[in-house]
Amino acid sequence: MQRLAIALALILTTASAFAAETPEAVVKRQLDAMHAGDWEKFTACMHPPALKEFQTTVMDVVSKAPDSPTREQLMKSFFADKSIAELQAVTPSVFFGMFMNGLAQTNPAIKQSMTNSEGQVLGHVDEGPDKTHVLMRMTVALADSKVVKMDVTSLQRDGDTWKALLKGDMQAIVVGLNKMLQAK
């Protein structure tokens, strides 16, 4: 009986340690996944509604774009030439991974900055009980120099853990994509 109690205590301690994962730990896992180009692990750190919103927004932009060589190239490069219907059927996590792989393949500078950046997590600032912002010092190697910038990842509570929200730079990419597809 005593062994059972010890085993149960270990299980509960491990479970509560996972449940108490800090926002900084989530951002560090996400940063490590980005460096590795592992979008499955990256999206596991993201808030599910944020991923769904990203998929919905990009699909709206792509589906409303007129047929053109630019749209055809985008579908081929970013989405492995899948149809709109096929893309709507994939999970938001898979969609995000496809998009990021396409982005990295079509823009080597972005790929280099994702794989060669270093992030030092500095701490977080709470915005109420269910939202927080993690501050990082990012160092990106560009050619023969290094660029240092401060970066913030916002997270929202999802059950007993934290999940990352989309950053503004992803929204800017979607806006740029829309302009590119609408250009005549």
Pairing status of strand 161-164 against strand 117-126: unpaired
Between CA 6 and CA 11 the distance in angstroms is 9
Tell me which H or E stretch contains 75: helix 69-79
How many Cβ atoms from other residues are within 10 Å of residue 86's Cβ? 11
**For the domain 21-182, what is the CATH code?**
3.10.450.50
Q: What is the full DSSP assignment across 37-70?
A: T-HHHHHHTB-HHHHHHHHHHHHHHHHHSPS-HH
Note the pLDDT tens digit of each residue in 29-74: 999 998 888 989 999 999 999 999 999 989 988 888 888 888 888 8
Whether 105 and 77 have beta carbons less than 8 Å apart is answered as yes
Between CA 52 and CA 27 the distance in angstroms is 20
Angle at 87 between CA 54 and CA 163, to 5 degrees: 30
Note the pLDDT tens digit of each residue in 120-153: 999 999 999 999 999 999 998 877 888 899 999 9
- The predicted structure's pLDDT at residue 3: 56
- The predicted structure's pLDDT at residue 1: 56
**φ and ψ at residue 150, rounded to 5 degrees:** -90, 145
- The predicted model scores a pTM of 0.79
Whether 30 and 42 have beta carbons less than 8 Å apart is answered as yes
Angle between helices 108-116 and 23-36 (to 10 degrees): 130
Per domain, the residue ranges of the chain are: 21-182
